[in-house]
Amino acid sequence: MPTPRRAKNDHLLYADVVDSKQKAGVWMGERDAYQAKQTEILEAVKDQADWVPIENAIMVVSTEPAGITIIAPNPTLPGVIVLADGGSPEASAQLQAAGEELVRKVMAERGILEEEAA
């Protein structure tokens, strides 16, 4: 039977310990309004990509290379997760890089700074 996730008030400390900051994809750093920035980034990405709705995320569909990219706010860390899957490891890597670059472009257009994942 599923169990609910524990409440994490120490999420940044936990991220340091388990080295999960890299999973954020594009890291924004801890800020009071990071969830509002995550929403702003996703809304802007929607304007620049072919996508289908997924609850609290978007799925970008690509034909060149063929595959999908899921872009979602990280639920426990101040970043945006980019997950890509293509027809080959090379296509997946290209989609991953393109998805991360799109998020970075949108962030730059909005003056949202990317920070090192530490």
- What per-residue confidence (pLDDT) applies to 23? 53
CB 117 within 8 A of CB 21: yes
pLDDT at res. 15: 53
In this predicted structure, the answer to whether residue 85 has a pLDDT above a threshold of 80 is yes
- Which positions ≥6 away from 104 have C-beta within 8 Å? 26, 114
Task: Report d(CA 100, CA 113) in Å as an integer.
Answer: 14
Average per-residue pLDDT in the chain?
A: 80
User: Which of 25-34, 47-56, 104-113 has maximum average pLDDT?
Assistant: 104-113
Within 10 Å of residue 80's Cβ, how many Cβ atoms?
Answer: 29
Closest CA to 28 of 100, 70, 69, 79: 79
So where are the chain's domains?
Answer: 24-110
**Beta partners for residue 84, in sequence order:** 69
| CATH match of 24-110 with 3.30.310.50 | yes
Amino acid residing at 111: G
Q: What pLDDT does 17 receive?
A: 47
Residues 6+ apart with CB under 8 A from 20: 14, 77
The predicted model scores a pTM of 0.61
Helices (H), 11-110: 11-18, 34-47, 89-109
